[in-house]
Amino acid sequence: MSRMILSRVGKFCSGILSGAADEYRKRFIPELMAGIVKAGTLVAAEIARATQKEGETMPAAWKSIRNHLGSKLWDKREEAINREFARQQARWVDARTVIAVDLSDLSKKYARKMQHLGWVRDASESLRRKTDVIERGYWLFESYTFGWDDRTPIPLVDFAYSLEGGEFVSENAALEHGFREIHRATKGQGVVTMDRRADAAFVLELLESLQMAFCVRLQASRTLKDEEGRELGTAAELGQRLPTQGTLRLKRRKGSRTLKVDVDYGYRRVYLGSLKRPVYLVAARGNFEHADKSDTEGWWYLLTTEAILTPADAERVLRWYRLRWKAEEAIEFLKRELGLERVRLLNFRAIRRLVQIAFWVMALLVEVMAGLSDSTLRKLYRLGQVLRVVTANFLLYRIRRAVAVFLRDPVHMRKLESICGSI
């Protein structure tokens, strides 16, 4: 099994580095990725301990990581490497594959000297305190596809940015860069899903100019029109007037329990703002997970370019949007299991690259999952569960722990055979 896993790691790294990276990056990036998997953190000192070579001191290993990540020589190759990664990941995408896009935060509450620190909304603290919490930190543009098993998010185009310095002067500029890179990688394939902020005119017009399909959440107050330009009312007014045209049963988790929720929905064709093509409104009501204070009695108002002619079309759109919440699980994995918010470098160039590589590590773990047989995966899950005290429903937690054992020393597997069974 160790040979299979190491083969998948080598194939993944060679795929994104062989044509775009120089010799230094071809050696350094795989070593850094392996170190992150083994250490389970983005703290450079701990990665240095995990990657320390025989005869090398820990301070020397740490200095090597810091210098490589901050190197200006990387600038010439960085864009090409990132685009090659996105192109490799885009092989999972076809015309109806969901691409979940989200803007999240990299909170650095106590940082003072990190370069280009800005102000961000700390989503996790805001949810816990039930009020907006603003902290120092950086913004993250995230996008994931689901082409392997329709459940596991696969990083596509992801990057950290600051509005206090660097290449982006506004959130719109960062969004435009992210969507254009997605379009370049996927050649316009896929269906973009995004939360309420995606209904801004700038985003919708950009997606239309790129001829990308989308399924986004509308604010209840957005005004919709018919084909003759007459106002139909707000999304909430129109959506709640629509007759119930079907009921979809969804599953949602509440703690350790799985609940079944019946979602009533209606739909119709509408026009919005300056969009030239007709779009469709799907109004759905149910006891959704992740509901917040802005939800009006559990309503979703979804706007999509997908032609909705039958209830089956509407249900497909609801399932597409529901996949967007997997992006929340993905960033939670990166923060909890890989310590995304524990980055302690001062140079923003180095921070941006280390965050980028953290997303590559997640993609690598998915690559391992996709390349192994079901029986081998079950054994890895069992091993990961033994190594992790709390059983995680998001299986990449278990995979990271299990793969770390192989990258440290395959001989360690024999010590766990009595617990996990024959591997």
Mind listing the domains of the chain with CATH numbers? Answer: 2-74+348-420 (no CATH), 214-323 (3.90.350.10)
pLDDT tens column, 170-209 = 999 999 999 999 999 999 999 999 986 788 889 999 999 9
Ranges of the chain with pLDDT below 50: 290-296, 389-391, 410, 412-423
Cα separation values, 138 from 129, 167, 183, 333, 378, Å = 21, 13, 24, 18, 37
pLDDT tens column, 56-89 = 888 898 999 999 999 988 888 899 999 999 999 9
Number of CB atoms found within 10 A of residue 372's CB:
18
How many whole angstroms separate alpha carbon 35 and alpha carbon 38? 5
To the nearest 5 percent, what fractions of the chain are helix, strand and coil?
50, 20, 30
How many whole angstroms separate alpha carbon 224 and alpha carbon 270? 6
Supply the pLDDT for residue 276: 87
Distance linking the first and last C-alpha atoms of the chain? 7
Radius of gyration of the chain from Cα atoms?
Answer: 23
Of residues 62, 48, 8, 39, the one with CA closest to residue 408: 39
Supply the pLDDT for residue 327: 86
Report whether 29 contacts 361 (CB < 8 A): no
